[in-house]
Amino acid sequence: MSLEVSTLVAEGSKMVTSYGDGLFRFGEETVTGSILLFPESVYSWNVTKAEDITPESFSRVIDKADDIEILLLGMGSRLTQVPMAWRQALKPHGIVIEPMDTGAACRTYNVLVSEARRVAAAMIAV
């Protein structure tokens, strides 16, 4: 495991407690590989690198658009350019995409969930 992440706990919410070595930990729960993370649930995401992402990769996020205003995009170990097509896929649903490296996405997600913000995260495992 790399970097331990803040464990501010919002009652009933999924919080990232650590990440690295290709997995994410939420308390006792561990998910291997990339994930789509919502305060109430976590799903495997069939993406291993930014080049794998297509606008369709965000379909589950779009399905939950009423509960999301910010999508944190953890792009792996380093930030890369976000194609306009990704932003255009989310914008009609009122979702703003915020790209960052996966570590920053984990930390930012925990803070925003603890503030009861309408956030989700799509994170490439590192």
Q: Delimit the domains of the chain by residue range.
A: 2-123
Which pLDDT tens digit goes with each residue over 10-32?
567 899 999 999 999 998 999 99
Per-residue pLDDT band for 9 (boundaries 50, 70, 90) equals: low
Q: Is pLDDT above 90 for 5?
A: no
Burial class (CB in 10 A: 0-12, 13-18, 19+), 102: buried
pLDDT at site 63: 97
Superfamily in which the 2-123 domain is placed by CATH: MTH938-like (3.40.1230.10)
Which pLDDT tens digit goes with each residue over 57-86?
999 999 999 999 999 999 999 988 899 999
Please provide the average confidence, as pLDDT, over all residues in the chain.
92
